[in-house]
């Protein structure tokens, strides 16, 4: 019998990327080998995102395309999972008759069984939440394509209910994975040659806060740093209100913890932050930023901003711009506000037109492009340690990441993939640096 092939398409955040990696390794055990060519797929799974209206639309457009593929390929299985699936549920089976299965964000471990059902000619949808901390153990670790740097999910869900955000509704309550499980997985990764781990969660800073028998996040980082073979630790995403002094101290005391942090502000004005239900003020945010900068001089800070939140005045927006200048973000993920069904902000009155929101976004992006380039240029001449992760885009180049998370391209032998090298930065561009081997 021919091997069956799985094509996996992933949208949204790193949590979804990690879930997809896990799905791919789980399905290998059910006889589906992973393919990157959609034309040879026997099964196509979409792992979806619904954080903004545009993300959801993208999924529906994609499903329309897949209808044609399904007509051409008899027996092709099409499944939709992740956050759109969680939000819409089995309605998707009615709306898209060519979709065979719908799986929610807590139901990934059911996939092998669901696929068996589908192979027997029935359609199936599973989107119930499982709210206990063992949920995260139901599911095996993934074998990812990057061999040296790997994601490790340490918590899932979110209890923060920022007023604009759909994530708590589609990922459920915040649950931390037991530290013994986390450390076991990292030990296994290290034994297989992984030298960098990226700890993942919607709000990693509140790791363990709900379970008195678990370490706090700063303590977990220290445990990870003690794992033999792990040379670099990163984490994402952080919430400013849970950015404790103990966690900031880790940046001063643990060299393995990379000098990089994603700390989304979302807005620069207190009035907007309050309506967003973010739980901190502009002043408290800047206090955390300054503490981070003193704990680890030169720390690279990235963030997220939402432009055109309901009620955002020109003055509010100017405060966002001023905050960006003051923090000097190395990079920003910024989007115009998009109302999401079921969230509190969806009931707030929107006064700005789409064009006004886009005009503000453009001003913000122009400012951020300048800062990014300035920061990249400031690395010129410096010596950086780079973990070479793969081949570069151009022939003769390899590519990797500096401690700061910046991508560095180096003219060097492909044999260096997987090792740490010292380079001198010789050129800097908008999206990457160029280094020369020392």
Binding site for ligand F3S (CB under 6 A): 12-13, 15-16, 49-51, 82-83, 167, 170-171
Q: Name the closest residue to ligand SAH (Cβ).
A: 304
* Among positions 20, 195, 202, 205, the unique one binding ligand SF4 when judged by CB under 6 A: 202
Q: Which of residues 302-321 bind ligand SAH (CB under 6 A)?
A: 304, 306
- In angstroms, rounded to a whole number, what is the distance separating the alpha carbons of residues 125 and 259? 43
* Among positions 6, 66, 162, 352, the unique one binding ligand SF4 when judged by CB under 6 A: 162
* Among positions 195, 202, 376, 384, the unique one binding ligand SAH when judged by CB under 6 A: 202
The closest alpha carbon to 221, from 229, 210, 232, belongs to 232
E-strand spans in 54-107? 77-82, 101-103
- In angstroms, rounded to a whole number, what is the distance separating the alpha carbons of residues 386 and 412? 12
Between 167 and 243, name the residue whose CB sits nearer to ligand SAH.
167
The closest alpha carbon to 162, from 353, 302, 304, belongs to 304
- In angstroms, rounded to a whole number, what is the distance separating the alpha carbons of residues 121 and 112? 15
**Which residues pair with residue 150 across a beta bridge?**
197
Between 168 and 435, name the residue whose CB sits nearer to ligand SF4.
168
Between 214 and 266, name the residue whose CB sits nearer to ligand SAH.
266
* Among positions 84, 108, 114, 165, the unique one binding ligand SAH when judged by CB under 6 A: 165
Is the separation of the CB atoms in 180 and 137 below 8 Å?
A: no
- Work out whether 272 is an interface residue with ligand SF4 (CB under 6 A): no
Between 111 and 155, name the residue whose CB sits nearer to ligand SAH.
155
Q: Which does 49 bind (CB under 5 to 8 A by kind): ligand SAH, ligand F3S, ligand SF4, none?
A: ligand F3S
Between 182 and 265, name the residue whose CB sits nearer to ligand SAH.
265
| Residues 6+ away with beta carbon under 8 Å from 100 | 77, 78, 79, 118, 123, 124
Between 311 and 418, name the residue whose CB sits nearer to ligand SAH.
311
* Among positions 156, 237, 302, 404, the unique one binding ligand SAH when judged by CB under 6 A: 237
* CA pseudo-torsion sign 77, 78, 82, 83: negative
Q: Which helix (H) or strand (E) holds 35?
A: strand 32-35
Range list of H helices, 192-334: 217-225, 245-253, 270-275, 282-295, 314-327
- Work out whether 350 is an interface residue with ligand SAH (CB under 6 A): no
Chain positions contacting ligand SAH, by CB under 6 A: 51-52, 164-165, 167, 202-203, 237, 239, 264, 266, 304, 306, 335, 337-338, 340
């Amino acid at each position: 019998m021919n091997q069956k092939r799985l094509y996996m398409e992933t949208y949204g955040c790193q949590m979804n990327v990690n879930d997809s990696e896990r799905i791919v390794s789980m399905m290998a055990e059910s006889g589906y080998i992973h393919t990157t060519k959609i034309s040879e797929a026997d099964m196509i799974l979409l792992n979806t995102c619904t954080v903004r209206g545009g993300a959801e639309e993208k999924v529906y457009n994609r499903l329309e395309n897949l209808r044609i593929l399904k007509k051409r390929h008899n027996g092709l299985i099409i499944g939709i999972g992740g956050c759109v699936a969680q939000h819409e549920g089995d309605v998707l089976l009615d709306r898209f008759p060519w979709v065979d299965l719908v799986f929610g964000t807590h139901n990934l471990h059911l996939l092998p069984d669901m696929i068996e059902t589908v192979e027997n000619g029935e359609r199936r949808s599973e989107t119930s939440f499982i709210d206990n901390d063992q949920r995260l153990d139901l599911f095996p670790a993934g074998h990812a394509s990057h061999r040296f740097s790997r994601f490790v999910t340490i918590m899932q869900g979110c209890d923060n209910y920022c007023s604009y955000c759909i994530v708590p509704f589609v990922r459920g309550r915040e649950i931390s994975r037991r530290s013994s499980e986390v450390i076991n997985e990292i030990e296994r990764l290290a034994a297989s040659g992984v030298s960098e781990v990226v700890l993942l969660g919607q709000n990693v800073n509140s790791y363990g806060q709900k379970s008195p028998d678990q370490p706090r996040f700063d303590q977990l980082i220290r445990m990870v740093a003690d794992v033999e073979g792990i040379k670099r630790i990163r984490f994402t995403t952080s919430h400013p209100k849970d950015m404790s002094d103990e966690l900031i101290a880790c940046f001063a005391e643990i060299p393995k913890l990379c000098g990089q942090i994603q700390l989304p502000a979302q807005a620069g004005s207190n009035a907007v932050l309050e309506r967003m239900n973010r739980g901190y003020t502009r002043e408290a945010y800047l206090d955390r930023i300054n503490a981070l900068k003193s704990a680890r001089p030169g720390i690279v800070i990235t963030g997220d901003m939402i432009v055109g939140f309901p009620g955002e005045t020109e003055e509010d927006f100017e405060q966002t711009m001023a905050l960006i200048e003051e923090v000097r973000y190395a990079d920003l993920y910024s989007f115009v506000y998009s109302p999401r069904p079921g969230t509190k902000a969806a009931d707030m009155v929107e006064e700005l037109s789409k064009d006004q929101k886009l005009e503000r976004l453009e001003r913000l992006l122009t400012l951020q492009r300048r800062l990014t380039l300035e920061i990249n240029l400031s690395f010129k001449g410096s010596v950086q340690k780079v973990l070479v992760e793969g081949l570069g885009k151009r022939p003769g180049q390899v590519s990797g990441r500096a401690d700061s998370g910046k991508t560095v391209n180096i003219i060097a032998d492909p044999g260096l993939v997987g090792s740490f090298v010292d380079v001198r930065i010789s050129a800097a561009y908008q999206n990457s640096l160029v280094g020369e081997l020392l």
